[in-house]
């Protein structure tokens, strides 16, 4: 499938996630398996490998970084974001925590730094603080920001990241955007028009492509999770975007539709019991 896509789309870089020593699974694999997987992925058409570890453990990151580098891929190493760097009472995940981890990643010879905001917790003020601090310390390191729009602040946060020095931010076609997906591409294109951050795209062009995805989403509507709107209480339970929709659907299947608020509260309790961990696959499976 990857080789077919590469043949059909020869001039656009492909990107994938690589969970360090976990590869693309939930467990730790032998080193040679990770190396061989990266080699085959690169040969078949993959370009950019976003390497991350679910608890920002640098030793697991090293394996993935080395495997991608040896395969000849672009190493986009990620720092997973949680908490709120703008809140001085938020505990161990302060600005220095992230700057220190970025230093460790930079020492590994990475090509690009990703800020992986898997739960959409990066508020505009925190985005400005974090990205500007990284940019000041690493002026030549490309910064790529990924977020989810669960609380509805994604567009504002990505604009703040751009103004603070980020080089790229992730977005989704309008029909597929919002809630636990990424912020709206159309909104970002329109918001940056006639500014120093102009994307080079026009809203008309984006809207024409979006018409196709609107039709596609209608076809797949029976398989959606049931989420109807954004929810700012993600700042309380800190559930990652993918986990949010999965758990919402699972709760519905278990007959807990009317108790979703209690499920989210239980998730937050489980996080506190585990020591306020960074929550992204596989560590997000705490519930």
pLDDT, the chain, mean: 94
Neighbours of 4 (CB within 10 A): 10
> pLDDT digit string (tens) for 124-167?
999 999 999 999 999 999 999 999 999 999 999 999 999 999 99
What local confidence, expressed as pLDDT, does residue 42 receive?
A: 97
Say if residue 206 is exposed, middle or buried (CB neighbours under 10 Å; 0-12, 13-18, 19+).
buried
Contact 83, 117 (CB under 8 A): no
What pLDDT is stored for residue 285 in this prediction? 66
The mean pLDDT of 82-105, rounded to a whole number, is 95
Highest average pLDDT, of 19-28, 202-211, 241-250, comes from 202-211
**132, 101 in Cβ contact below 8 A?**
no
Q: Considering the chain, what percentage of its residues have pLDDT values greater than 70? A: 99
Q: Lowest mean pLDDT: which of 5-19, 73-87, 141-155, 270-284? A: 270-284
According to the model, what pLDDT value does residue 287 have?
A: 47
Contact 177, 142 (CB under 8 A): no
pLDDT over 60 (residue 53): yes
Average pLDDT over residues 167-193: 97
* Separation of alpha carbons 266 and 103, rounded Å: 35
> Does residue 286 have a pLDDT over 60?
no
Q: What is the pLDDT of residue 46?
A: 97
């Amino acid at each position: 499938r990857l080789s077919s896509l590469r043949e059909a789309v020869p001039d656009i870089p492909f990107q994938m996630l690589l969970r360090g020593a976990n590869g693309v699974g939930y467990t730790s694999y032998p080193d040679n398996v990770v190396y061989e997987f990266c080699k085959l992925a690169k040969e078949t058409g993959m370009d950019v490998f976003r390497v991350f570890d679910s608890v920002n453990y640098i030793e697991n990151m090293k394996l993935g970084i080395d495997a991608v580098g040896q395969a000849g891929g672009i190493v986009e190493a990620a720092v997973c974001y949680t908490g709120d760097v703008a809140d001085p009472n938020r505990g161990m995940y302060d600005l220095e925590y992230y700057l220190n981890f970025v230093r460790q990643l930079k020492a590994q010879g990475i090509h690009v730094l990703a800020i992986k905001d898997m739960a959409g917790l990066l508020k505009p003020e925190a985005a400005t603080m974090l990205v500007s601090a990284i940019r000041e310390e690493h002026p030549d390191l490309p910064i790529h920001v990924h977020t989810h729009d669960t609380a509805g602040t994604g567009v504002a946060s990505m604009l703040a990241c751009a103004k603070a020095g980020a080089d790229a931010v992730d977005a989704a076609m309008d029909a597929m955007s919002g809630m636990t997906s990424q912020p709206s591409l159309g909104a970002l294109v329109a918001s940056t028009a006639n500014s120093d951050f102009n994307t080079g795209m026009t809203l008309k062009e984006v809207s024409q492509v979006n018409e196709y995805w609107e039709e596609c989403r209608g076809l797949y509507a029976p398989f959606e999770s049931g989420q109807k709107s954004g929810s700012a209480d993600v700042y309380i339970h800190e559930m990652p975007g993918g986990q949010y929709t999965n758990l919402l659907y699972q709760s519905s299947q278990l007959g807990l539709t009317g108790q979703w608020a209690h499920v989210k509260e239980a998730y937050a309790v489980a996080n506190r019991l585990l020591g306020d961990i960074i929550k992204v696959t596989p560590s997000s499976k705490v519930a």
